[in-house]
Structure 1
Amino acid sequence: MYNQLVTKEKTLAVIGLGYVGLPIALAFARKIKVIGFDINAKRIQLMQQGIDPSGELDSSEFEGCDITFTDSLEILRQASFFIVAVPTPIDAHTMPDLKPLIGASVSVGKALKHGDYVVYESTVYPGCTEEDCIPILERESGLKFPNDFKVGYSPERINPGDKEHTLSKITKVVSGCDAESLDIIAKVYELVVDAGVYKASSIKVAEAAKIIENTQRDLNIALMNELSMIFDKMKINTYEVLEAAGTKWNFLKFSPGLVGGHCIGVDPYYLTYKSKELGHTPEVILSGRQINDSMGAYVAKKTVQLMAKQGKDIIKSRVLVMGATFKENVEDIRNSKVADVVSELINFSVQVDVVDPYADSDELKHEYGFGLIEKPEGKYDAIVIAVNHKPYISLEESYFHSLSNGNGIVIDIKGVFRNKIQKLTYWSL
Structure 2
Amino acid sequence: MTTIIGDTEERADERASGQYALESSGEGTTLEHTTEQSTREATICIVGLGYVGLPLAVGFAQSDYRVIGYDVDDVTVDRLQEGIDTTGDLTDEAIQDGDISYTTDATTITEADYVIIAVPTPIDDDERPDLGYVESAATTVGSKMDPGTTVVLESTVYPGSTREVLIPALEDASGLSAGEDFFVGYSPERATPADDDHGLEDVVKVVGAQNDKVLEDVATLYESVVDAGVHPTPSIEVAEACKVIENIQRDVNIALVNELSMAFERMGLDTREVLEAARTKWNFHDYRPGLVGGHCIPVDPYFFAHRAKRAGADPELMLTSRSVNESMPNHVAELTIKALNECHKTLRESRVLVLGLAYKSDVGDIRSSKVTHVIDHLREFDIDIAGYDPHADDDEIRASFDIDVQESLSFDGFDAVLLTTSHSAFEELELDDVAAALDDDGALIDVAGAFEPNDAADAGLVYRSL
| TM-score with structure 1 setting the length | 0.96
| 1:368, distance to aligned residue in structure 2 (A) | 4.0
Q: Tell me which amino acid in the other structure corresponds to 1:101.
A: V
Partner SS, residue 185 of structure 2: strand
Q: Partner residue of 1:396?
A: 430
Q: Quick one: distance in 1 between partners of 2:137 and 2:396?
A: 24
From 11, 21, 28, the counterpart of 2:60: 28
From 282, 286, 292, the counterpart of 1:259: 292
| 1:364, distance to aligned residue in structure 2 (A) | 2.9
Q: Quick one: distance in 2 between partners of 1:233 and 1:204?
A: 44
Q: For each residue in 1:361-397, what CA deviation from the matched residue of structure 2 results, as whole angstroms up to 9, or x when unmatched?
A: 2223444444622243632222100111111111111
| 1:402, distance to aligned residue in structure 2 (A) | 2.7
Partner SS, residue 250 of structure 2: helix
Q: Quick one: distance in 1 between partners of 2:203 and 2:97?
A: 23
Larger deviation, residues 206-215 vs 86-95 = 86-95
8 Å contact kept, 2:71–2:77: yes
Q: Tell me which amino acid in the other structure corresponds to 1:14.
A: I
| 1:63, distance to aligned residue in structure 2 (A) | 4.6
Q: Tell me which amino acid in the other structure corresponds to 1:237.
A: D
Q: Partner residue of 1:16?
A: 48
Q: Quick one: distance in 2 between partners of 1:293 and 1:417?
A: 24
Larger deviation, residues 410-419 vs 254-263 = 410-419
From 157, 160, 163, the counterpart of 2:196: 163
After superposition, the Cα gap between the structure-2 partners of 1:367 and 1:97, relative to the gap in structure 1 and judged at 3 Å, is farther
Given the alignment of the two structures, is residue 135 of structure 1 paired with residue 168 of structure 2, yes or no?
Answer: yes
From 443, 447, 455, the counterpart of 1:420: 455
Q: Partner residue of 2:22?
A: none
Q: Partner residue of 2:345?
A: 312
After superposition, the Cα gap between the structure-2 partners of 1:323 and 1:220, relative to the gap in structure 1 and judged at 3 Å, is same
**Pairing of 1:340-351 with structure 2 (within 5 A):** 340-351=373-384
Q: Partner residue of 2:266?
A: 233
| 1:53, distance to aligned residue in structure 2 (A) | 1.1
Partner SS, residue 3 of structure 1: coil
**Pairing of 1:328-347 with structure 2 (within 5 A):** 328-347=361-380
Q: Partner residue of 2:23?
A: none
Q: Tell me which amino acid in the other structure corresponds to 2:462.
A: T
Q: Tell me which amino acid in the other structure corresponds to 2:461.
A: L
Q: Quick one: distance in 2 between partners of 1:420 and 1:147?
A: 67
Q: Quick one: distance in 1 between partners of 2:70 and 2:53?
A: 9
Q: Quick one: distance in 2 between partners of 1:345 and 1:128?
A: 40
Larger deviation, residues 245-254 vs 108-117 = 108-117
Q: Partner residue of 1:145?
A: 178
Q: Quick one: distance in 1 between partners of 2:306 and 2:380?
A: 31
Partner SS, residue 439 of structure 2: strand
**Pairing of 1:32-43 with structure 2 (within 5 A):** 32-43=65-76
Aligned length: 429
Partner SS, residue 406 of structure 1: coil
Larger deviation, residues 111-120 vs 194-203 = 111-120
Larger deviation, residues 102-111 vs 131-140 = 102-111
8 Å contact kept, 2:385–2:403: no
Larger deviation, residues 334-343 vs 248-257 = 334-343
Query: How many percent identity over aligned positions?
Result: 44
Q: Partner residue of 2:13?
A: 2
- Unpaired runs of 5+ in structure 1? none
8 Å contact kept, 2:13–2:40: no
Partner SS, residue 165 of structure 1: coil
Partner SS, residue 274 of structure 1: helix
Q: Quick one: distance in 2 between partners of 1:297 and 1:399?
A: 29
Q: Partner residue of 1:107?
A: 140
Partner SS, residue 89 of structure 1: coil
Q: Partner residue of 1:202?
A: 235
Q: For the pair shown, which has the larger CA radius of gyration, 1 or 2? A: 2
Q: Quick one: distance in 2 between partners of 1:286 and 1:64?
A: 44
Q: Quick one: distance in 1 between partners of 2:306 and 2:336?
A: 34
| 1:55, distance to aligned residue in structure 2 (A) | 1.6
Q: For each residue in 1:296-345, what CA deviation from the matched residue of structure 2 results, as whole angstroms up to 9, or x when unmatched?
A: 11100221123224432111111111000000111111210111111111
8 Å contact kept, 1:382–1:410: yes
Q: Tell me which amino acid in the other structure corresponds to 2:423.
A: H
| 1:347, distance to aligned residue in structure 2 (A) | 1.5
- Unpaired runs of 5+ in structure 2? 1-11, 17-36
After superposition, the Cα gap between the structure-2 partners of 1:50 and 1:373, relative to the gap in structure 1 and judged at 3 Å, is same
Q: For each residue in 1:255-296, what CA deviation from the matched residue of structure 2 results, as whole angstroms up to 9, or x when unmatched?
A: 000000011111111111222233323110011001111111
Q: Partner residue of 1:381?
A: 415
Q: Partner residue of 1:216?
A: 249
Q: Tell me which amino acid in the other structure corresponds to 2:55.
A: P
Q: Quick one: distance in 1 between partners of 2:213 and 2:246?
A: 27
Partner SS, residue 83 of structure 1: strand
| TM-score with structure 2 setting the length | 0.89
Q: Quick one: distance in 2 between partners of 1:379 and 1:279?
A: 56
What is the aligned-residue RMSD (CA, Å)? 1.6
From 294, 299, 315, the counterpart of 2:332: 299
| 1:8, distance to aligned residue in structure 2 (A) | 5.2
Q: Quick one: distance in 2 between partners of 1:144 and 1:378?
A: 66
After superposition, the Cα gap between the structure-2 partners of 1:142 and 1:371, relative to the gap in structure 1 and judged at 3 Å, is farther
Q: Quick one: distance in 2 between partners of 1:362 and 1:95?
A: 30
Larger deviation, residues 198-207 vs 410-419 = 410-419
8 Å contact kept, 2:13–2:41: no
8 Å contact kept, 1:314–1:349: yes
Q: Quick one: distance in 2 between partners of 1:103 and 1:371?
A: 38
Larger deviation, residues 256-265 vs 268-277 = 268-277
Q: Quick one: distance in 1 between partners of 2:229 and 2:184?
A: 20
8 Å contact kept, 1:4–1:10: no
Q: Quick one: distance in 1 between partners of 2:449 and 2:75?
A: 39
Q: For each residue in 1:181-208, what CA deviation from the matched residue of structure 2 results, as whole angstroms up to 9, or x when unmatched?
A: 0000000001100111001111000000
Q: Quick one: distance in 2 between partners of 1:371 and 1:110?
A: 47
8 Å contact kept, 1:16–1:37: yes
Q: Partner residue of 1:277?
A: 310
8 Å contact kept, 1:396–1:420: no
